[in-house]
Structure 1
Amino acid sequence: MKQNAVVKKRRGGRPRKSDNSDTRQALLDVACQEFAGRGLEGARVDRIAKLANVNKQLVYHYFGSKDELYIAVLEEAYRNIREQEHALDLAGLPAHDAMRVLIEFSFDYLDRNREFVALVTDENTHMGEHLNGSTQLEPMNRPIIEMIRETLERGDFKAGLDPFQVYLSIAALSFFYFSNAFTLSRIFGRDLLEYSSVAERRRHVVDFAMSALTKT
């Protein structure tokens, strides 16, 4: 992700609209890394502004407060994963293939975006209180349940599966692995973030989930 952004100016010194958008996005990108690495409590507005190469006051101009910036980062994180899920176009695939693609994507996304794991874990330590301040998250996240429902209904899967419970199970199989990889690596004496370990876990998650969902 971008770590620096310079506010470009017109000759009169006023930022262009596109520059405003670029600056806001640069702050979100830097803040995502800051909150993921240090948590809400450890993150500092001064450091975020410095890394984004902007005046500290611009943080408050765009977001109002550190907590509001944190909420915006969480919204951006969820928006990104949901947009990528939508782009999978599961409805255009045979149901069995669609479910496998979704499970693979869910694992791969967390592997590629471990800051997402850190952000969600941090917000859970705050009991999800900041998500209560967002009106975007529920409608933003609802479509994934409908995508799973539609896939289950048109495929040869076990009867009576609840799409919400299926989503939770798919998410948990991968999220637990990455959110606890450091402690699990220590207590079992193996590096779970090493490439072959991640690949092994991916195969297991996909096969385990598909076996659980598919009629025998």
Structure 2
Amino acid sequence: MTTSTTTIIEPRSRDADRSQLAILAAARDEFARYGLAGARVDRIAENAKLNKRLIYYYFTSKDDLFLAVLEGAYADIREAEKQLHLTDLEPAQAIRRLTEFTWDYYIAHPEFITLLNSENLHQAKHLTKSERIREMNSPLIQTLGNILERGRSEGIFRGGIDPVQLYISIASLAYFFLSNNYTLSAVFDRNLMTAKAHSERLSHTCDVILGYVLRG
């Protein structure tokens, strides 16, 4: 008796790139909707319109695919931040622009929040393995640090501000409100999902951040 095995031949480069992009797009939607635990490779393959074996060929496992999706999500927001050209702005304007951008980006990309929620449930076990994540986040912190130092030297900002702490504050003021929107609306009996509520929140966030960095 002979047994047959199926061999996957690596596609040509252009087809391979197209296939990986399709897999990552389908996987992002799947992980954002169901989380890592609930996501199914069969559904990812179906939505990507590709053979499931190709997913394992390129990404080895569901965990590795999830990490690739997380890295892609961070790469997207970091690339969008570069387009702000923050170093060309006055220090206070740069901080406001980053704050506004972060809010707007989270609104436009709710999958970013749900992907991070899922990774936090797993105690960041995937991101801790990624050198790429640390490399892509370092330039943002360096840029923010330079803006803070420029503002301090011009007498606009107070000194001693940690750029990492500041960025966490900017991100968290948007992230917490949006990721907990339903529960906050229920607890305070106020619809926090309206355009008016979002506008008020952004205004409040900018006031809090700028109130912290500006000299009194």
Distance 2:194 2:31 in 1: 24
Distance 2:130 2:23 in 1: 19
User: Per-residue deviation at 1:112?
Assistant: 0.7
The one of 128, 133, 145 aligned to 1:149: 145
State the identity as a percent.
44
- Paired residues in the alignment total 204
Distance 1:215 1:170 in 2: 18
User: Per-residue deviation at 1:174?
Assistant: 0.7
Distance 2:12 2:59 in 1: 19
Alpha-carbon displacement from aligned partner over 1:93-130 (angstroms, at most 9, x marks no partner): 11111111111111111111111000111101111111
User: Per-residue deviation at 1:16?
Assistant: 4.0
Is 2:124 aligned against 1:128?
Answer: yes
Alpha-carbon displacement from aligned partner over 1:151-192 (angstroms, at most 9, x marks no partner): 111111112111111111111111111111111112122222
Q: What SS is found at the alignment partner of 2:161? A: coil
Distance 2:111 2:123 in 1: 18
Give the TM-score, by structure 2 length.
Answer: 0.90
Q: What amino acid is the match of 1:187?
A: V
Distance 2:14 2:181 in 1: 40
In structure 2, the partner of 1:112 is 108
In structure 1, the partner of 2:197 is 197
Q: What amino acid is the match of 2:91?
A: A
User: Per-residue deviation at 1:133?
Assistant: 2.3
In structure 2, the partner of 1:5 is none
Distance 1:23 1:91 in 2: 37
The one of 20, 27, 30 aligned to 1:24: 20
Distance 2:181 2:113 in 1: 11
Alpha-carbon displacement from aligned partner over 1:51-99 (angstroms, at most 9, x marks no partner): 1111111111111110000000000011111111112111111111111
Is 2:210 aligned against 1:210?
Answer: yes
- Point out where structure 2 has 5 or more consecutive residues left out of the alignment: 1-9
Aligned CA RMSD, in angstroms, stands at 1.5
In structure 2, the partner of 1:11 is none
Distance 1:195 1:71 in 2: 33
Distance 2:134 2:184 in 1: 32
The one of 52, 57, 61 aligned to 2:57: 61
In structure 2, the partner of 1:162 is 162
The one of 47, 50, 53 aligned to 2:46: 50
Q: What amino acid is the match of 2:99?
A: I
Q: What SS is found at the alignment partner of 1:136? A: helix
Q: What SS is found at the alignment partner of 1:79? A: helix
Q: What amino acid is the match of 2:76?
A: N
In structure 2, the partner of 1:81 is 77
Distance 1:59 1:106 in 2: 32
Q: What amino acid is the match of 1:179?
A: S
Give the TM-score, by structure 1 length.
Answer: 0.90
Is 2:214 aligned against 1:183?
Answer: no
Distance 1:102 1:24 in 2: 31
Moved more, 19-28 or 71-80: 19-28
- Point out where structure 1 has 5 or more consecutive residues left out of the alignment: 1-13
Distance 2:190 2:40 in 1: 34
